[in-house]
């Protein structure tokens, strides 16, 4: 049951050394009025065996991805997680380590973070990455905070085609930051650069997702240029698995690149924990939130790694810190690093192309009307199913297929629209099955 | 690093800043005690030339690896010059806090404020009380 | 040790995808990747060796004693890893229909109820990703609560003690509040006279950890409650030190209105080298309407997500929170049940035992029994032998221990904050105490051992000044500088 090593003999010896006669005496400073005098109303302690039985029961009451052929995406994706990523995360020296504030004992974690930072900079074409944010939504709030302090402006712009969850989180953080949030509507599934430029006048930053929530490729370089014209920082929210096929945001004028790391190496796990990534041009390094690992040497001239520029962070700068973040998502970002290393540059390209090819194949096989027929998409696309999409989802599940996400709950006028995600884990047979269930 | 000194020709502010007053102008910096407490400086966030400074208020920031510190103005005035050597090599402040490590030069707006500053002897006593 | 990029060879790869023979649609030219990212090209055996080698250069709780104050580095039960990896949890998509996630939702509900019981509060949101985010959420709740009563414009101040963890003031700024500091008295309690002068109708609330970062229970907590609630203000409890009081004293009973719990501290979510964590918040009934959406609720025999929350502050992170962390934390709680009390008693016993063994060799700023952690000062060693808390920390590594927290809280010079946790055996505590005593003796006799420590780690003391000035924050491939050869210069390397 418990993980305590203490025996009665230990307790006696220790109480004697302390100079008290009972454990109760150790709590003498607590005023009587705040003492909890009954037993905690919790179910009785379980042995490991009982624990396992109970949790297996709970787990069996869910229908995970394997229970149905799944085309559900909308922000979290059923990509393949290689066994080696799980294996590395189970190394106890990494799993059970704290934040690497004592670098001599933490070169493993520090070097891994440095390698992760390098990978993110390579993917995004940026100069500096932090060691991770909480997820793909909070890094958008982080980007707004950076932009607010860099520009002194009181407004941020987000495209309507950006994930609803990202927009909600930005709007939750904005009042505390003293920021107004303005949305730019999508036009036939993508964003008009002229509209973005107009909205971004007096804005600290303009955030656009690419590929966007509909799976559509935005005119990203034009959007970045439009933001820059308005002197707002261009911020691209990108899918890490698209960056073998799509250009790096740093190469088309973005100031900051952010995103959700889950597709790269993390299991979906009912929404978390995952990692958000945030990378920026060199000029923003001192405004970056979160930890950054830097390279240096030790007294003997050996190369080593340390947390650096810590004066940005809460434990030193306190109320003037670039963020309050302390605990981040290091272990999950480590899985991301292992995954990206497992893929290599060719593998990353292959994953992107495979998703696109399968999605295109699915569009043809389904033969359903595409909502945004003139747009190029990445791994997701929106189709009209002729009746309420959530009914279609329920009916398809009865046949062992999850056909996708009912967009109507997030976008007006789309109650009959299904967002279909196709990852490299789907096969042409799966797609045939989807077609059967939806149109057969 | 420099040896601990507090030159007699300077005036001192309790937040460990010094002023060298020459006519209607003054040069500011931080004292030996301040640079010793911070450790080697790695970054200096400078103010703009022409900006106003106000006595007892912060006009710049210096950073070491483990700390950030506001630099407090001993007197009020207008910034005439910012030490570019310190901008490029902040550790100059540690090596020579009263010479090459000066931070800004100002035109004094209220000469009477100098009366509130300490002389070297009083500052040394102030340090002894703090310890 | 080489970076993984330095082990990369063109043409090597570990993962391979199915080759489908399907045509790849074209991407408009202006959107196409021009240069591939320089990810490592490495085969699986070398990939695994690389990360294994990295792990051997790291110290975790699995390795040895890790007494970081306020971090609660307790044992991470291995069964919890197995449970979090059950496919029914691991592969469940958050946008699945509620009917298909009843097991997950039930787990969340049961965890919420357990946390409500431990904290003595009415309602819980599991959404915040970490303690800091819990703080942010709690302060947003304060804004919403007071706005609802027309008092938000007036109430701009948050009071925090000078012993507060840096996240507290940072959270205050991020939510648009102003800071008021209150002092600590000679007993290590909040100075109540100072507090009375600073709390008024412009105060929104207090942020406090109890026991404090000094490891001391605030003896005036009842008076503090009267002062804040008397002024119509709210009280926020930073749950970082909850490990001391589970089943012994509940923050809700102390008067707190909002509590964040650190699942990666009290409830054993592994720290993972910096994260993930979980920072759920528990609140008094009057704050429940403002909690993040969706709420997870019981509906008869079923469990569902309630998005109909008209007064919610909104959403602080994606979906419902770090679910994998919930699995581990809830399993930990179920392994103890009501015996969580014994867990806290053991934590406090272990800390007092170490304190008793060390108090004569180091300075003790506050002469009281401690709770689950205590603070010593190395100022005596510094004054007499020139040995600092930093030196002590580095030398402890040579003895096979992770150092305690150093230089925090700020009000204690040369601070050493020690938290053993309940999962340490007596002989481990004795070995650590023996090492600390030996180091104190070395400071007098052979101080260079301390100044040059550590001697037995993969690297010696690292030049943090060079790291800050040079700011090399990624590998630069062919242009990567050789730091051992170059002198330090200012600036950041650009792409």
Question: Tell me: the pLDDT tens digits for C451-476?
Answer: 999 999 999 999 999 999 889 999 99
Which pLDDT does position A113 carry in this prediction?
A: 98
Percent of chain A's residues with pLDDT above 90: 93
Stronger pLDDT, C449 or A219, i.e. the higher one: A219
CATH number of C81-338: 3.40.640.10
Residue C20: the pLDDT is 87
CA distance B42 to chain C (A): 6
B60's CB contacts (< 8 A; 6+ apart) are B44, B45, B46, B47, B70, B71, B103, B104
| Residue C260 β-bridge partners | C238, C281
C40 touching A (Cβ < 8 Å): yes
Domain A65-81+344-439 and domain A84-337, same fold? Reply is no
Reported confidence tier of residue A66, pLDDT bands at 50, 70, 90? low
Which H or E run contains C222? helix C221-230
B66 touches chain A (CB under 8 A): yes
pLDDT at A1 over 80: no
Whether B100 has a pLDDT exceeding 60, the answer reads yes
High-pLDDT (> 90) share of chain C, %: 92
Cβ burial of A179 (10 Å; 0-12, 13-18, 19+) is buried
Q: Is the pLDDT of residue A64 over 80?
A: no
Would you say C27 and A217 are in contact if contact means Cβ atoms under 8 Å apart? yes
**pTM, rounded to two decimals:** 0.95
Strand C234-239 and strand C203-208: pairing?
parallel
**Per-residue pLDDT, C244:** 97
- How do residues A86-143 score in pLDDT, each as one tens digit? 999 999 999 999 999 999 999 999 999 999 999 999 999 999 999 999 999 999 999 9
| Residue of chain B minimizing CA distance to C407 | B66
Model confidence at C486, pLDDT cuts 50, 70, 90, reads low
pLDDT for residue C99:
92
pLDDT band (50, 70, 90) for residue A325: confident
The CATH label, of 3.30.70.890, 3.30.540.10, 3.40.50.1000, 3.90.1150.10, for the domain at C344-451 is: 3.90.1150.10
Partner-chain residue, chosen from B43, B64, B68, that has the shortest CB–CB distance to A317? B68
pLDDT at residue B122, rounded to an integer: 95
Q: Are A72 and C96 within 8 A, CB to CB?
A: yes
A contact residues 92-131, partner B, Cβ 8 Å cutoff:
none
Q: What is the CA radius of gyration of chain B?
A: 13
CA-CA distance, C366 to C191, in Å (whole number)?
A: 14
Does residue A323 carry a pLDDT above 90?
Answer: no
Tally: H helices and E strands in chain B: 4, 9
Distance separating alpha carbons of residues C472 and C486, to the nearest angstrom: 13
Helix (H) or strand (E) holding C88: helix C87-90
Those residues whose C-beta lies under 8 Å from the C-beta of residue A65, and which sit 6 or more positions away, are: A72, A78, A268, A402, C91, C92, C93
| Contact indicator for A115, A293 with CB cutoff of 8 Å | no
**Is pLDDT at B119 greater than 60 in this prediction?**
yes
Burial class (CB in 10 A: 0-12, 13-18, 19+), C416: buried
The distance from CA C381 to its chain's CA centroid, rounded to whole angstroms, is: 30
Mean pLDDT of chain A: 96
All structural domains of chain C with their residue ranges? 4-56, 81-338, 344-451, 463-495
pLDDT tens digits, one per residue of A156-204: 999 999 999 999 999 999 999 999 999 999 999 999 999 999 999 999 9
Distance from CA of C470 to the nearest CA of B (A): 9
Note whether C469 contacts B: Cβ–Cβ < 8 A: yes
Q: What is the pLDDT of residues C258-286, one digit of tens each?
A: 999 999 999 999 999 999 999 999 999 99
Mean pLDDT of chain C: 95
Q: Under CATH, what is the fold of the domain B11-120?
A: OB fold (Dihydrolipoamide Acetyltransferase, E2P) (2.40.50)
Contact C407 B66 (CB under 8 A): yes
pLDDT band at A65 (very low <50, low <70, confident <90, very high): low
pLDDT in tens, A265-297: 999 999 999 999 999 999 999 999 999 999 999
Of the candidates A286, A263, A191, A176, the residue with the CA atom closest to the CA atom of residue A234: A191
Beta strands in A22-87 (DSSP E): 69-70
Taking the domain A65-81+344-439, which CATH number applies?
Answer: 3.90.1150.10
Nearest by Cα to A305 from C278, C1, C6: C1
Kindly give the interhelix angle for C426-445 and C340-358, rounded to the nearest 10 degrees.
Answer: 20
What part of A 279-308 touches C (C-beta under 8 Å)?
281-282, 285, 291-306, 308
Query: CA C254 from chain center: how many Å?
Result: 23
B-chain residue closest to C490, CA distance:
B88
pLDDT tens-digit profile of A409-421? 999 999 999 999 9
Confidence grade of residue B131 (pLDDT, cut at 50, 70, 90)? low
C487 pLDDT higher than 60:
no
Pure H helices in A230-387 = 314-317, 330-366
Cβ-Cβ contacts under 8 Å, A317 against chain B: 68
> Which among A22, A23, A40, A25 is positioned nearest to C253, based on CA atoms?
A40
- What tokens appear for C354 in the block? 């170490």
On chain A, the residues whose CB falls within 8 A of the CB of B43 are 286, 311
State yes or no: pLDDT of C489 exceeds 60. Answer: no
Of the pLDDT bands very low, low, confident and very high (cuts 50, 70, 90), residue A372 is very high
Q: Which residues of C touch A34 (CB under 8 A)?
A: 221-222, 249-250, 253-254
Instruction: Return the sign of the alpha-carbon dihedral for residues A427, C34, A276, A306.
Output: positive
Please tell me whether the interface predicted TM-score (ipTM) of this complex is above 0.90.
yes
Q: How far is the CA of C81 from the CAs of A97, C269, C273, C280, in angstroms?
A: 15, 10, 16, 20
Is domain A84-337 annotated with CATH 3.40.50.9100? Answer: no
Assign C128 to helix, strand or coil. Answer: coil
- In this predicted structure, what is the pLDDT of residue C200? 95
Residue appearing with tokens 């040394």: B124
How far is the CA of A222 from the CAs of A127, A377, C468, in angstroms? 22, 17, 36
Q: pLDDT tens digit string along C214-231?
A: 999 999 999 999 999 999
Q: Which of residues 304-323 of C touch A (CB under 8 A)?
A: 313-323
């Amino acid at each position: 049951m418990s993980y305590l090593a203490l025996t009665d003999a230990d307790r006696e010896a220790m109480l004697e050394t302390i100079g008290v006669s009972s454990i109760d005496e150790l709590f003498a400073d607590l005023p009587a009025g705040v003492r909890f005098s009954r037993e905690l109303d919790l179910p009785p302690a379980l042995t490991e065996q009982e624990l396992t039985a109970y949790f297996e029961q709970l787990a069996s009451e869910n229908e995970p991805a394997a229970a149905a052929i799944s085309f559900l995406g909308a922000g979290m994706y059923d990509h393949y997680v290689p066994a080696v990523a799980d294996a590395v995360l189970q190394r106890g020296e990494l799993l059970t380590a704290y934040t690497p504030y004592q670098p001599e004992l933490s070169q493993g974690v520090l070097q891994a973070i440095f390698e992760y930072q390098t990978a993110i900079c390579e993917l995004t074409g940026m100069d500096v990455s932090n060691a991770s944010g909480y997820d793909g939504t909070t890094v958008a709030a982080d980007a707004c905070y950076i932009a607010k302090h860099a520009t002194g402006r009181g407004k941020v712009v987000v495209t309507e085609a950006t994930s609803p969850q990202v927009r909600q989180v930005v709007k939750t953080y904005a009042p505390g930051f003293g920021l107004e949030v303005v949305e730019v509507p999508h036009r036939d599934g993508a964003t008009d650069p002229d509209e973005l430029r107009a909205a971004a006048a007096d804005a600290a930053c303009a955030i656009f997702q690419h590929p966007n929530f509909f799976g559509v490729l935005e005119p990203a370089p034009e959007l970045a240029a439009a933001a820059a014209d308005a002197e707002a920082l261009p911020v691209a929210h990108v899918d890490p698995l698209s960056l073998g096929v799509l250009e790096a945001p740093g190469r088309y004028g973005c100031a900051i690149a952010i995103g959700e790391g889950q597709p790269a190496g993390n299991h979906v796990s009912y929404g978390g924990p995952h990692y958000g990534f945030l990378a920026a041009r060199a000029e923003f390094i001192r405004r970056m939130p979160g930890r950054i690992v830097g390279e240096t040497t030790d007294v003997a001239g050996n190369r080593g790694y340390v947390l650096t520029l810590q004066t940005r962070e809460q434990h030193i700068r306190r109320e003037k810190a670039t963020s309050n973040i302390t605990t981040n998502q290091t272990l999950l970002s480590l899985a991301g690093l292992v995954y990206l290393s497992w893929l290599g540059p060719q593998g990353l390209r292959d994953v992107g192309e495979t998703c696109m090819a399968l999605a295109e194949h699915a569009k043809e096989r389904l033969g359903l009307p595409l909502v945004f027929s003139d747009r190029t998409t990445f791994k997701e696309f929106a189709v009209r199913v002729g009746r309420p999409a959530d009914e279609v989802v329920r009916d398809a599940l009865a046949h062992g297929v999850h056909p996708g996400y009912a967009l109507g709950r997030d976008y007006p006028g789309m109650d009959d629209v299904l967002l279909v995600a196709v990852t490299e884990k789907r096969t042409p047979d799966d797609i045939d099955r989807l077609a059967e269930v939806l149109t057969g | 690093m420099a040896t601990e000194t507090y030159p007699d020709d300077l005036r001192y502010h309790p937040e460990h800043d010094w002023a060298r007053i020459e006519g209607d102008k003054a040069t500011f910096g931080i004292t030996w005690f301040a640079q010793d407490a911070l450790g080697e400086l790695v970054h200096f966030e400078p103010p703009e030339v022409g900006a106003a400074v106000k006595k007892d208020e912060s006009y710049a920031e210096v950073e070491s690896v483990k700390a950030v510190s506001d630099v407090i103005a001993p007197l009020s005035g207008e910034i005439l010059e910012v030490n570019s050597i310190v901008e490029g090599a902040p550790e100059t402040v540690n090596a020579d806090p009263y010479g090459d490590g000066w931070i800004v030069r100002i035109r004094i707006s209220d000469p009477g404020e100098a009366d509130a500053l300490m002389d070297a002897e009083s500052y040394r006593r102030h340090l002894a009380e703090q310890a | 040790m080489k970076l993984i990029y330095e082990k990369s060879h063109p043409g090597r790869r570990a993962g391979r995808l199915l080759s489908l023979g399907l045509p790849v649609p074209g991407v408009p030219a202006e959107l196409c990747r021009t240069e591939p990212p320089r990810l490592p090209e490495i085969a699986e055996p070398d990939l695994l060796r690389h990360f294994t080698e990295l792990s051997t250069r790291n110290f975790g709780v699995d390795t040895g004693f890790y007494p970081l104050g306020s971090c609660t580095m307790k044992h991470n039960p291995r069964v919890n890893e197995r449970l979090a990896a059950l496919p029914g949890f691991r592969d469940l998509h958050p946008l699945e229909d509620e009917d298909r996630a009843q097991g997950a939702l039930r787990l969340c509900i049961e965890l919420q109820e357990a946390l409500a019981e431990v904290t003595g509060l009415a309602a819980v949101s599991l959404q915040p990703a970490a303690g800091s985010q819990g703080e942010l959420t709690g302060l947003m709740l304060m804004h919403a609560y007071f706005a609802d009563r027309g008092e938000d414009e007036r109430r701009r101040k948050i009071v925090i003690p000078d012993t507060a963890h840096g996240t507290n003031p940072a959270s205050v700024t991020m939510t648009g509040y102003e800071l008021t500091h209150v002092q600590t008295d000679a007993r290590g309690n909040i100075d109540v006279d100072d507090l009375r002068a600073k709390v008024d109708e412009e105060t929104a609330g207090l942020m406090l950890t109890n026991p404090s970062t000094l490891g001391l229970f605030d003896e005036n907590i009842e008076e503090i409650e009267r002062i804040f609630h008397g002024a119509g203000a709210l009280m926020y409890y930073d749950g970082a030190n909850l490990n001391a009081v589970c089943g012994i004293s509940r923050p809700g009973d102390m008067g707190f209105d909002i509590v964040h719990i650190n699942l990666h501290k009290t409830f054993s979510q592994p720290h993972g080298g910096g994260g993930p964590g979980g920072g759920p918040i528990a609140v008094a009934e009057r704050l429940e309407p403002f909690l993040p959406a969706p709420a997870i609720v019981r509906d008869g025999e079923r469990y569902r997500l309630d998005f109909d929350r008209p007064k919610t502050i909104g959403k602080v992170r994606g979906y419902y929170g770090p679910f994998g962390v919930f699995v581990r934390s809830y399993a930990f709680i179920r392994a103890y049940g009501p015996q969580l009390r014994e867990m806290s008693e053991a934590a406090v016993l272990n800390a007092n035992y170490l304190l008793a063994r060390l108090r004569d060799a180091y300075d003790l700023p506050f002469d009281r029994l401690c709770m689950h952690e205590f603070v010593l000062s190395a100022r005596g060693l510094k004054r007499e032998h020139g040995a600092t808390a930093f030196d002590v920390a580095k030398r402890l590594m040579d003895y096979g221990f992770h150092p305690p927290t150093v230089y925090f809280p700020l009000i204690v010079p040369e601070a050493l904050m020690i938290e053993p946790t309940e999962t340490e055996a007596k002989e481990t505590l004795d070995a650590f105490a023996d090492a600390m005593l030996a180091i104190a003796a070395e400071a007098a006799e052979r101080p260079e051992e301390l100044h040059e420590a550590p001697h037995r780690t993969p690297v010696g003391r690292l030049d943090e000044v060079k790291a800050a000035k040079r700011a090399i924050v990624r590998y630069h491939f062919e242009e990567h500088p050789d730091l051992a050869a170059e002198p330090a210069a200012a600036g950041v390397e650009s792409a």
